[in-house]
Structure 1
């Protein structure tokens, strides 16, 4: 089994990685995710490199099938659908954190 890992800035996803051993497939999410992160970082004052980099994290690995490319495509598409423009705007307004 391979592992699916989502890379986040705070709670805003930006990339999916599917990994098995030394092999991996990566997908960056569309530009709107990066733009949301940049807007949020400026809004919360994470202007210097250390403050910005400190907020990056990897989600918990989730087991997926061994078809790395297909799983990466599937995960990226699911996140694109789950994180609508409205949801990304709400995350930016909330400082990048999802409501708990």
Structure 2
């Protein structure tokens, strides 16, 4: 059994951190997620580093069966498959 957290900027995931009894594993999502984050930040006019950093968040810790590496890899695969959803959410106007 492992726990994991998704680290995201303004609800756009960027990495997954998973832990089990023996290790902690961090997996970065593909570059397209960071490009989306940068694009949204530019569109919002966020130029101040502190303002940018304030929008990073660690999601709730969740549990899943498997080793830390297996869990991190499976969560990354799920998030990668949902990329179009994150594009839509990132550019949705309130």
Unaligned runs of 5+ in 2: none
Alignment of 1:38-77 (within 5 A): 38-77=38-77
Q: In the superposition, relative to structure 1, how do residues 76 and 64 fare at CA in structure 2: closer, same or farther (>3 Å)?
A: same
Question: Structure 1 CA distance, aligned partners of 2:92 and 2:50?
Answer: 21
Find the residue that maps to 1:17 and give its secondary structure: strand
Deviates more, 1:47-56 or 1:62-71: 62-71
Alignment TM-score, normalising by the size of structure 2: 0.88
Find runs of 4+ consecutive structure 1 residues off by over 6 angstroms: none
SS in 2 for 1:3: strand
Number of aligned positions between the proteins: 94
* Secondary structure of 2:17 counterpart: strand
Match for residue 6 of structure 1? 6
For structure 1, which runs of at least 5 residues remain unmatched after alignment?
A: none
SS of residue in 1 equivalent to 2:76: helix
Worse-matched range after superposition: 18-27 or 32-41: 18-27
CA distance in 2, matches of 1:22, 1:41: 37
> What SS does structure 2 have at the residue aligned with 1:47?
coil
TM-score (norm 1): 0.83
- Secondary structure of the structure 1 residue equivalent to 2:5: strand
